[in-house]
Structure 1
Amino acid sequence: MRRRVLLIGSGEVGAKHAQALLRTGGLELVAVADPAPAVAPPAGVPLLKRWADALHRFGPDVVVVATPPGIALDAARAAARDGATVLVEKPVTLDPADLDPAAEDGRIFVAFQPHFAPGIPELLDQRPPIRRAEVTLVCRRDRAYYRGWRTLHATAGGVLHQQAIHGLALALRLLPCAPITSCTADVHRVRQWAESEDRITATTTFADGTVLTVDARVDSHEERRHEVTLHLDDGQRLRIRGRNLEAGLGDPLAAPGDLQLRQALYRALPTGGTSPAHPSVFPLSELCRTLEVIDHAYRTARTVPEAGTAA
């Protein structure tokens, strides 16, 4: 029996979900909801303007929410209250206070497909003792990316919310859950295409002595990479590699593609109850700590003056 899926949001990310859902066995994309779709839904798939109407009309088993943060949490919680299993795109919300527990949150999971990369499920299942984690992001975002809701930090957040969150969330799931004792961060804004920064570096220290560092830049012409390096208590070092972590702990030349990772994510969603059976499934409740660390970094960050103008 196929699970009926409603997709909320038909922008760049929503379109990727639509194509992956169509190619995943056991799932049927029954409708797309978006008042102003940037990408047309696949042929034969109905388009509705209001997600509330789509929930009522189709009664889906699964809802995928691929909307900006200002919409995502309300849509996800409404779908979960209707009994659907919900997969919502990051960052879901920019304010960690929004994630104060709600009864329906147990049915909501966050879309981090790189967490299904080779070796990552086993790593999340074993949770080895880690004393330091380093997140590195190097990519290039052009002017066209910063448009609409992505123009303002209040509606899109920064590099840590939009790009580096995959690695940050993974590192924070693996580090012990201890309070923040200190955080230093530097923000670099050179091109000034939006309120978001071109680069941020941050070091966060926790009460148990563990440390998380991040160096994330979206203005680089270097080869794209998003990696997490884990320093274990026994001196061993684990490196999770790829353009977006997709090689995991395996061979970068044999890394799965985006479609494979999305399909693994869809298939891992629980079919009954609210408890995920797969270690890589990321419950909404666990996102709160990631947003708290990101929020702390931005609130304590200093802006580094640099020469440069928009190209």
Structure 2
Amino acid sequence: MRRVLLIGSGEVGAKHVEALNRTDGMDLVGVADPSPVVSPPAGVPLFARWESALDSLAPDVVVVATPPGTALVAARAAARGGAVVLVEKPVTLDPSDLATAPEDERIFVAFQPHFAPGIAGLLDQAPAVRQAEVMLVCRRDRAYYRTWRTRYATAGGVLHQQAIHGLALALRLLPSSSVSSCTAEIHRERRWAESEDRITAAVAFDNGACLTVDARVDSVDQPRRHEVVLHLDDGQQVHVRGRNLEAGLGDPLSAPGDLALRQAMYRALPTGDTGPRHPSLFPLAQLRRTLEVIDHAYRTARNASEAGTAA
């Protein structure tokens, strides 16, 4: 039985509590949050400071579900203490924060859709991909943009908060190379927060590969989806489908639910420093490239008016 500490008991933390309590081999032994939105289950102690929880519990696994900035500090401290760490995206908004640190080898980013059917095999095979398309259509109401999500400086934008699952997967499969050019356009209509309602981007890389993104969170008339299309060098296309990639390469009608995907993610966490890692586990170090591409898109983006002309 692996002893698990959860740092952060908000909206996302509550999902981890439910999933951890229903996963064999995982024992939630503590929750750390100075102002929990959701109270811990009966019998699970609550700590106001995650530092105290780490010292007191010496957990085997730490799940970090806090806003960017705090997440990275807590995750690295837990890893230095010997725990295997699973941290919620986007972890940080600054790619330079992810300069190599020894403890990062024990930290993985929580992308449960990467455990969808067929994704592990796809990552293991690493087909030659020349172009990737990331498409996101979802709906966020005013209540979502509260506290730390209100400002770009503390939460990032649509690419950090919603589209990062697909972006991280696409960039892991595209051959690594520096960005050669980027054109992006930002749309803000509701202005409920500093984050945008929609962003489109076309990113070209020095090796000839390219990535296109169309991500929107203001749609009421389109089916919700978060999908990735991969164009292979041999002309074939690979479609990763679902409301949030959860169908993977399989049938959307039989896609696993969020609980099953989270349980698969927990079970994949390594128990030691040696041995093969599950292909779908997303190492923290690989997040840096994703954040660099996201940062490039936002730095070069132009603002568009509601009519579609440059503001």
Would the TM-score normalized by the shorter structure come out above 0.5?
yes
Hey, what does 1:237 align to over in structure 2?
Answer: 237
Shift of the alpha carbon at 1:276? Answer: 5.3
Partner of 1:59: 58
Deviation at 1:42, TM superposition (A): 1.6
Distance in 2 of aligned mates of 1:206 and 1:219 = 29
The 8 Å contact of residues 187 and 301 in structure 1, kept in 2 or not, is answered as yes
Which range moved further: 216-225 or 269-278?
269-278
- SS where residue 69 of structure 1 aligns? coil
Q: Tell me which residue corresponds to 2:272.
A: 272
- Matched residue SS, 1:243: coil
2:288 is equivalent to residue 284 of structure 1: no
Which runs of 5 or more residues in structure 1 are unaligned? none
Within-5 A mapping of 1:143-292: 143-221=142-220, 222-273=222-273, 277-292=277-292
Structure 2 CA distance for aligned equivalents of residues 185 and 275 of structure 1: 41
Q: CA deviation at 1:130?
A: 0.7
Match in the other structure for 1:43: 42
Taking the aligned partners of 2:15 and 2:6, their CA distance within structure 1 comes to 11
Which secondary structure state, in structure 2, belongs to the residue aligned with residue 277 of structure 1?
coil
Q: Deviations over 1:97-151 (max 9, x none)?
A: 0000111111100000000000100000001001110000000000000000000
1:54 maps to a residue whose letter is: A
Matched, 1:13 2:7: no
Q: TM-score, normalised by structure 2?
A: 0.97
Aligned to 1:96: 95
1:159-212 deviation per Cα after TM superposition (whole angstroms, max 9, x unaligned): 000000000000000000011100010000000000000000000000111110
Give the alignment's TM-score, normalised by structure 1.
0.97
Number of the residue aligned with 2:104:
105
Structure 1 residue 11, shift from structure 2 partner? 0.4
Q: Are 1:106 and 1:274, in contact at CA under 8 Å, matched by a contact in 2?
A: no
Q: Distance in 1 between matches of 2:244 and 2:276?
A: 24
- Residue by residue over 1:228-281, the C-alpha shift from the partner in whole angstroms, topping out at 9 and shown as x without a partner, is 001111111111000100000000011001011000000101100066521001
Amino acid at match of 1:190: E
Q: Is the 8 A contact 1:106 1:275 kept in 2?
A: no
CA shift in 2, pair 1:107/1:162, >3 Å: same
* Deviation for aligned residue 1:306: 1.3
Q: In the alignment, is the contact (CA less than 8 A) between 1:96 and 1:288 conserved in 2? A: yes
Amino acid in the other structure paired with 1:27: M
Letter in 1 for 2:287: L
**3-state SS, counterpart of residue 10 of structure 1:** coil
What is the number of residues matched between the two proteins? 307
CA distance in 1, matches of 2:281, 2:305: 40
Describe the SS at the equivalent of 1:296.
Answer: helix
Find the counterpart in structure 1 of residue 127 from structure 2. Answer: 128
CA distance in 2, matches of 1:242, 1:31: 33
Structure 1 stretches of 4+ with a deviation exceeding 6 A read none
TM-aligned CA distance change 1:224 to 1:266, over 3 Å:
same
Cα distance in 1 between the residues matched to 2:305 and 2:43: 52
